[in-house]
Structure 1
């Protein structure tokens, strides 16, 4: 059995789907009994994880497990789990943003390395799915308003992360490996907005605002301080120096990483649904 924490996140959900398609027995950790996961996956409430036996491998999502990571890994070792695959961040290897966020991922990596399990670490750059946060303002105004228009990253399609995770969970020869996962195209925020405009067939522009204006807007929308701190801190650094670009996805999957333009085309419906009546055309 393969245990997937964060099973309803964009990476976890796709990893569950891929593993089920490959015939693996999957336990998906979720609080939602109607999570819309494949019928063949066993849904496991977080409180029930400690009762599971026969777990061969774990996908560990730090944001999903929080402070319970150490206990989960201790239990895994005691019950004979063989390996753990950790979803981490590329900032551990290529520092950007506020140190405290990088240190959170470093701490979970260290737990995995000391766990006694075979470990594989996936250090990921920013997810393409993060730009779904733009959908509402695109729908209402045809404009994305943000800070640091020229911040440049090699955004990764979360489906590529899931494909690598599925490999590492199923194949023990990835033990002891650290993979920095990025897309292969370094794009500014304005570049991504242009790709969305092309995919949707609608004019969409990027309007630059000051970091403080964006921070106030996010807090006014009810987001916790951590969200603008995480976003604006990394964007400020990537405006000065582009984030890393690697070929790890190509090497591991035997094909190029999906482009952001492909992701935008594949997710047109999510953005198109946000357009309001009488909105920009």
Structure 2
């Protein structure tokens, strides 16, 4: 049984690849650069060139695949339904979809595909903390417009739920809200980070508009930047409340933010 993983080198995709391999499954990793991906992903995955935003070129990648993991990314909304159609036509029997923050065209196409599907609805990724790395290393500060709690989830836990849904029975037609074991404000996360890197890190409030401009400067569209910053400005109950989905689905306690920091502390330490 082979699973095709789209976004295989992304924040969650690489963990999905690793978890499936850990469980002894065949994995086909879809990537724009198979050579580079082979250096990033665990040994044992089959690298195939391509991108899920060009489904018309994926017939070979889908051949012989019975499971499919889709990560909804920018540019997929228009072509994602075609990807789902081609996957089902190629014989895919089970699909997991990591949503883009709402039930859009791709998520709807998966739900209407006629095959077993599970939708993964994680709240904020712990990996988002990496956006603080430069300012922490260089200045010892974190600049954010809001200080509301967030029920951050570890990407490896998202992957563990994805693997369970792909390989185990009982998950068809489910939409899983995924969080870590606790909700933390930026200030509380900074305290955890400061302790781990043994350096005082300050929280510096900035205006909403400054946060939007910071994102657009990286190439994000104005609309997307407003959506992201607005998510922090108006957190929902789902985003601020820890739930036990990871524990129920995987049988394992979800990883804490402190564990994530221990695994990534080198990104925040100054080289000076």
**Same topology, TM > 0.5:** yes
Paired residues for 1:1-281 under 5 Å: 1-33=2-34, 34-35=36-37, 36-46=40-50, 48-51=57-60, 52-63=62-73, 66=76, 67-88=78-99, 102=102, 105-149=103-147, 151-238=148-235, 243-272=240-269, 275-277=270-272
Q: For residues 169 and 240 of structure 1, do their structure 2 counterparts lie closer, same or farther at Cα, with a shift above 3 Å needed? A: closer
Q: How many residues align?
A: 261
- 1:20 Cα deviation after fit: 1.4
- 1:118 Cα deviation after fit: 0.7
* Aligned position for 1:96: none
Q: Give the conservation status (yes or no) of the 8 Å contact 1:50–1:72.
A: no
Other structure's SS at 2:180 match: coil
Q: Give the conservation status (yes or no) of the 8 Å contact 2:124–2:239.
A: no
- 1:223 Cα deviation after fit: 4.0
The CA deviation string for residues 109-153 of structure 1, in whole angstroms up to 9 with x for no partner, is 21111111111111110000011000001111100011012x111
- More helix per residue: 1
Q: For residues 7 and 268 of structure 1, do their structure 2 counterparts lie closer, same or farther at Cα, with a shift above 3 Å needed? A: same
Q: For residues 260 and 84 of structure 1, do their structure 2 counterparts lie closer, same or farther at Cα, with a shift above 3 Å needed? A: same
Which of 1 and 2 has higher RCO (CA within 8 Å, sep 6+)? Answer: 1
The CA deviation string for residues 167-214 of structure 1, in whole angstroms up to 9 with x for no partner, is 111113311112110112111111111111111111111111111122
| Alpha-carbon distance in structure 1 between the residues aligned to 2:238 and 2:145 | 15
Unaligned ranges ≥5, structure 1: 92-101
| Alpha-carbon distance in structure 2 between the residues aligned to 1:118 and 1:242 | 27
Q: For residues 240 and 249 of structure 1, do their structure 2 counterparts lie closer, same or farther at Cα, with a shift above 3 Å needed? A: closer
| Alpha-carbon distance in structure 1 between the residues aligned to 2:188 and 2:228 | 18
The CA deviation string for residues 231-259 of structure 1, in whole angstroms up to 9 with x for no partner, is 21111112999623211011112232111
- 1:16 Cα deviation after fit: 0.4
The CA deviation string for residues 83-125 of structure 1, in whole angstroms up to 9 with x for no partner, is 1001126x5xxxxxxxxxx3xx333221111111111111110
Q: Give the conservation status (yes or no) of the 8 Å contact 2:21–2:27.
A: yes
Which deviates more from structure 2 when the two are superposed, residues 231-240 or residues 116-125? 231-240
